[in-house]
Chain A
Amino acid sequence: MKKTTVLLLALTSPLVCTNASPAPEIDVSGFPAEMVEDVVVPVPSEIFGVLDKLGTPDWKGLLREGELQASEDRARTALLLGTVIADGFIAVQAQDRERVKETGRTVLRLAGAIGVRQSVLSRSNSIIDSADKQDWPKVRRELDGALHDVRNAMIELQDEQLAHLVSLGGWLRGTEALTLVVSQNYTRDGAELLHQPALVKYFETRIEGMSPKLRDNPLVARIHSLLAEIRPLVQMDSGLDIPSESVGRIRDITGELVGSITSKGA
């Protein structure tokens, strides 16, 4: 406690700020440093946290019905896992305890189907326990953590490409939910949350770098094709908004893709 207090004072006090006048501008076309990675993919909490501040949309209306099953197609199961984690966030927004608990169980089942059950066991239990206590901030943290743990377990298993599909599945479902919310009550600020062209490009590039077998998977290939359609829609020239028509088109595309991922016949 003492150490924390000292740190709090030492690190946050304006008295210790030393400003060495950073460059006021850099040339991003010739970025003056090697890049660590293409772009940092945000965790779902970052987006849902903003949505919290935009109002109280009908989250219950966004919840999906029906049990989701793992597929023999591991790529589809990885995508499905990502969408389920995103569903968990929607269930948190709706404060639907039973749906959050179901998310925890489904995450565990799907993680097992792709060989990373152990990595999310404690997270899954914590999601269920926290839902029972209606500790929604903790559920959010654990859902973010589940995504993190699944991805890392896959990377350790040399399954990094499948890990990208988990992230992509989460992004698709999260983006679908975002467009549905914005469509309910279009606002400029809400639509601006879709301004993510670098992320779309990132996912396109990840798919292009996958093994031919994975890249040619019909579902993955379809996603790749439609990401190219989404990218210009989420561009936002200076001073301009993302119009409601574009929001609607992105909603339709992501809805189609999420439907394909979650379809029992897929």
Chain B
Amino acid sequence: MHPPSFLRLCGAVSLVGAVLFVTTPTGRAMVDDALSFAYEAADPYVKEGFTIREDAWGGDLEEGGQKGIRHQLFKGNEYWFWAATDVEGAELEIHIYDASGQLAEAEFWKKGKFAAARISPSATGSYFLLVKVVKSPADRTGWAMVYGFR
């Protein structure tokens, strides 16, 4: 059975060390590990006043593959989006575009299995998040994304 191409994940926000959904399907377990890393990336920002939402998004992609997430954002908030993979040697990117397709993030970074982007929206409305597996030694690369706001 092929793993699901994407999953919307829901889990406890235990942040660092979170181990979520110990389940048997390979795809789900792969994404669960990626989710733990995504929460790990988010954890330091809690101290900076960010509230981490207890929902997560994820799935698996081939090298060069990308996934979009449409998101309602509010002017006046500041958001960080953190993505991670569990595949050693894989690299992700995450970017934020506004409703007209213009790159809208204030900054982004990637480091090893982690990537993140920040935005302080100039307008309230729909934005598009783009998660991309830039490179990977695996056929399918599990990824997960969480976000926080303040």
Contacts and interface: CB of A to CB of B under 8 A. Distances in A.
Interface of A: 3-4, 7-8, 10-12, 14, 16-20, 22-28, 31-43, 45-47, 49-50, 53-54, 137, 140-141, 144-145, 148, 151-152, 155, 189, 192-199, 236
A43 B97 CA distance: 21
15 contacts: A10-B111, A11-B116, A18-B109, A26-B130, A33-B132, A36-B8, A39-B126, A41-B72, A45-B51, A141-B51, A148-B55, A192-B75, A193-B74, A196-B125, A198-B72
Interface residues of B, number: 57
Contacts of B102: 24-25
A174 to B, nearest CB: 12
Contact of A39 (B71, B76, B131): B71
Scoring A8, A10, A31, A46 by chain B CB atoms within 10 A of each residue's CB, the highest score goes to: A46
Say whether chain B's binding surface is mostly helix, strand, loop, or mixed.
strand
Contacts of A27: 101
Nearest to B110: A18
Given A22-B93, A25-B102, A26-B97, A11 B69 contact: no
B10 interface: yes
A28 B74 contact: no
A11 B72 contact: no
Interface of B: 5-6, 8, 10, 13, 16, 40-41, 43-45, 47, 51, 53-55, 57, 59, 65-77, 93, 95, 97, 99-103, 107-111, 114, 116, 123-126, 128, 130-132, 134, 149-150
Contacts of B101: 25-28
Nearest to B46: A4
Contacts of A137: 51
Contacts of A54: 76
A241 to B, nearest CB: 11
Contacts of B124: 192-196
Contact of B43 (A4, A32, A37, A144): A4
B57 A36 contact: yes
Contacts of B149: 45-46, 49
